[in-house]
Structure formats: structure tokens, C-alpha cells
Structure 1
């Protein structure tokens, strides 16, 4: 098992932002209960590409029994906006 901080530090050392698949695997290493925290910390560090966010943010939400206990409402809103979820597409 790894901590969220260790995983974020690892991804920060990579030459490119992590993919959704890499983030999903990392969530298994930290424990799926930490998936929302991992995604939010990657977002805060500028390591969450919108393409990865589009897959990871809804997945992190779905892993939670009570998403509002994992992150506050504004944090979820920021993540979903970054992921482009709910945007009207022309």
C-alpha cells in the first residue's frame, strides 16, 4: 500500500501527466476509499489532464458510499467542471 502523497509525488516526477488507466491502478494501490482524495490532489497539483479527469472523476464519485463525506461540494464541482461533465457540447 502507498499513501496518496507518495502516489502524487511519483506522478509529479513523470514526464507527462498520468493517464486515466494509471490513476485507476494507483487508486487500487492506495485503496479505493482514497480515490477521491487522489484525484483531487492530482487536480490541485496540476497533474490531472481533462481527458483523464473525464474518466477518473465519475469513477471516484461512484466508489464512494457518501461522496459528500469524501470531498466537499465545491471540490466535487471543481473536479466535474475540469472533467467537462455536464457541459453542453455543440
Structure 2
């Protein structure tokens, strides 16, 4: 039985989690991506983290799926706790556009456009103009600004440049020194 043999199309995340955990069907990475797409981009992280904690997320699938659901969800750090994302990215290993890669060897100067309350989010860029664009988004409670950090390679969880046309680094910011960019 494969995951695509299900009798009806599952569009509810809870139902998909139950199905995958209870029936444990075989599925390819492409099939998992299709199933995740059917429940909606904001539900994907809950499905993936459930599979991970139940020991049912294949590491080869994680390399593709983890950065994809991160990039797809509107607010990743609202969808899952930082500890859950940290576990998922550690399991997948450092990836660049859904492919396993070695981490960069040198620190990176990265930028983030956000208000003060969200300066320690995990989506960063090496493109200052892109960070500037994010400061002007209407989602901020207060005016946004560009933040700067020198990021050690061990903090880099993924590099995502395909899909949304952005130059994103996913960065574990816990304990990171973040300052206003000048």
C-alpha cells in the first residue's frame, strides 16, 4: 500500500497525521510533498514534525521536505517551536535548495528586515536590499528596520534560494549577537 492509494483525498492535517501514523504507508518524497500540499502550506510543519517524533520521517525525505515546509509556511516560528525546527533541521542536515551540502566554512554577514520584537527570527539574507524590502511590510507592529549579524557556520541550518525568489539563510539565532545595520 502506498500513501497515494488512500480512498479519498485527505485535506485535513489531523486526518493526514492519523493516516500516516496509523497505516504507515510507503511513500516517495514526491508523494509526501503532494500529501503535504493537499493539507495546505501552513499545516505542513505539524505533519512533518509528527512524522519525525514518531520515527517515520525518512532522512532522505527530510532533506527536501524540511526546508520546503519552512519556506512554504507563512510564519515558521509560529507554526512550530524553535526546538522542533532545530530538531528537524538537525535531522535533515545542512541543505542548499533541498540538497544536502557541507556548511560554509567561514562566517557570513547576514541581514534581516523586521521590527524589534522579531529581530531574532530565523529567516536571514545576504542581500541587504531584500532585508530593506522586509522592513516595509505591513505585518510589523512597529516600524521595521534592518538587522545585521555575523553568523558562524554552525548556526546555518539551510540555504534556500529557489521557490520564492529570495536569498534566504535559515539561522538558529539563540544567543546570536544581532545589531541594527548601519
TM-score normalised to the size of structure 1? 0.81
Secondary structure at the aligned position of 1:65 is classed as coil
Show the counterpart of 1:69. 78
Show the counterpart of 2:168. none
Question: 1 or 2 for the larger relative contact order (CA 8 Å, sep ≥6)?
Answer: 1
What is the number of equivalent residue pairs in this alignment?
88
Q: Which has the higher strand share?
A: 2
Of structures 1 and 2, the larger Rg is shown by 2
Gaps of at least 5 residues in structure 1 are none
Task: Give the RMSD, CA atoms, in angstroms.
Answer: 2.1
Q: Which has the higher helix share?
A: 1
Deviates more, 1:18-27 or 1:56-65: 18-27
Structure 2: how far apart are the matches of 1:36 and 1:15? 19
Gaps of at least 5 residues in structure 2 are 1-9, 96-100, 104-182
CA spacing shift, 1:81–1:26, aligned 2, 3 Å: same
Show the counterpart of 1:80. 89
Q: Offset of 1:40 from its aligned partner?
A: 0.6
Structure 1: how far apart are the matches of 2:50 and 2:12? 12
